Amino acid sequence: MTPLSIHLCGLAAAVFIASSLFLAVVRWFHMCHPYDQKPDYYYPGRPIVAAFHLNALVVIPYALHPESADAWYLARLYLLPVALFYCTIMLLSYFGSVMQWKKWLRPIVLLGGPVALAMLAALVLAVWPGAQMGTVIRDTAANGILYALGLLTTASCLFVLRLVLRHARLIDKDDYSNPEDFPVVAARRWMALVGMNMVSYWTAALSDSRSVMAVVMLILSATAGLFLISILHPNRNRPMEESVVAFGLEPDAVPDGEGQIYQRSLPLKKRLEILSAVTTVVEEKEAYLEPHLTLQEVAERCGYNRSYVAGLIKSEMGGFFTYVNRLRVQHVEDYLRDNPSATVQEAAEESGFSSRKAYYAAKAKLQS
């Protein structure tokens, strides 16, 4: 490459670093009001996102000395295992509030150890004055480390993407009475973005081309900006006034899995009491007409532990989503019968669905 081309690549890296710093500052300090009153719910994973953007500072040696073989290896290492590892952690941290992801946290975080060590070693070699390690950095062993860590982080990222996709398909059947309470659209959009970044990371690493690296960094700067714009406004649909109450509570002391065991050991009289309380709240008091009704809220109004309520609804009524939406679908039919001039949209909204689309989606799931 010509000296001009090399320095243009360094300029692209500088643009990438500057945009990443700007995005890190915005992500850390900016939260829309009044959602900033409940950041854990509306902005999950915010520190991780900010740290991800801030981590671009390690590419500074490449921006200053794009002709250096050591700095070039540092840039390749940053994009493939390091950035991909951060993508994995961001997905886990954001969807951790609705996914049972803690059991996967430790093995994936442990993967960050070798990635951090490789990055630190490459950074030291890139900035150490007078180091003559260019031939070592470019040898087969160094590239082997890069590709091996790249394969491991790619596998972990694909695994988490699969978890998010599966959860996006099932979340409305577990805790939420309306699919829109889980940011399914946002989840699929971010999954597509992570997938595109994954392809970009591998392209830059395998091409061994500074020109390709420059293009990839400019593309990543643009996509990171789009990603930030998409999360500045919360992607959770629960109204603020509801969430302050519903999500400002401590988690249940008994995990769901254990709750399934405990609820089966409950005396028959206690089981009947809980079921009676549930039907009173959901059916007699018509809580099912509330569009954003959650299992947590039903348990609170009944005055029983969420795990017990969840287990009994699952075993006796087919699950929370099935139970609530069966009542809603019946209410839609009754409403249309009693109001012949009413539209399906009106009947759906009067019956607790957030939209006509949500009504049709729930009805299809119940019939499947």
Residue 269 has pLDDT above 70, yes or no: yes
Mean per-residue pLDDT of the chain: 79
pLDDT at 105: 67
Q: Is the pLDDT higher at 368 or at 151?
A: 151
Give the model's confidence band at 328: pLDDT under 50 very low, under 70 low, under 90 confident, else very high.
Answer: very high
Give the model's confidence band at 180: pLDDT under 50 very low, under 70 low, under 90 confident, else very high.
Answer: very low
Query: Bridge-partner residues for 294, per DSSP?
Result: 176
pLDDT at 225: 82
The CA-CA-CA angle for residues 142, 143, 148, to 5°, reads: 100
Mean pLDDT of 280-301: 90
Mean pLDDT of 323-340: 93
Residue 339 has pLDDT above 90, yes or no: yes
pLDDT at 344: 93
pLDDT at 276: 93
Question: Among 94-98, 319-323, 324-328, whose mean pLDDT is lowest?
Answer: 94-98
Residues near 57 by Cβ (< 8 Å), separated by ≥ 6? 17, 20, 21
- At 91-106, the pLDDT tens digits run 877 776 555 456 666 7
| Domain locations in the chain as residue ranges | 3-238, 243-367
Report the distance separating Cα 65 and Cα 71, nearest Å.
Answer: 7
Give the model's confidence band at 278: pLDDT under 50 very low, under 70 low, under 90 confident, else very high.
Answer: very high
Residues near 350 by Cβ (< 8 Å), separated by ≥ 6? 289, 331, 335, 342
What is the residue type of 103? K
Mean pLDDT of 154-174: 74
pLDDT at 130: 55
3-state SS class at 176 = strand
pLDDT at 34: 74
What is the residue type of 46? R
Residue 257 has pLDDT above 80, yes or no: no
Question: Among 1-10, 235-244, 272-281, whose mean pLDDT is lowest?
Answer: 235-244
CATH topology assigned to domain 243-367: Arc Repressor Mutant, subunit A (1.10.10)
pLDDT at 143: 84
- Taking the model in full, what pTM does it have? 0.60
For 248-310, the DSSP string reads SSPPPSS-HHHHHHHHHTS-HHHHHHHHHHHHIIIIIS-GGGSTT-BHHHHHHHHTS-HHHHH
Return the percentage of the chain with pLDDT > 90, whole number: 23
Give the model's confidence band at 174: pLDDT under 50 very low, under 70 low, under 90 confident, else very high.
Answer: very low
CATH topology assigned to domain 3-238: Rhopdopsin 7-helix transmembrane proteins (1.20.1070)
Alpha helices (H) along 32-101: 39-42, 46-54, 60-64, 69-77, 84-95
- At 191-233, the pLDDT tens digits run 888 888 899 999 988 888 888 999 999 998 888 888 777 777 7
Residue 255 has pLDDT above 50, yes or no: no
Residue 112 has pLDDT above 90, yes or no: no
pLDDT at 270: 86
Give the model's confidence band at 333: pLDDT under 50 very low, under 70 low, under 90 confident, else very high.
Answer: very high
pLDDT at 202: 92
Mean pLDDT of 263-267: 60
pLDDT at 48: 79
What is the residue type of 23? L
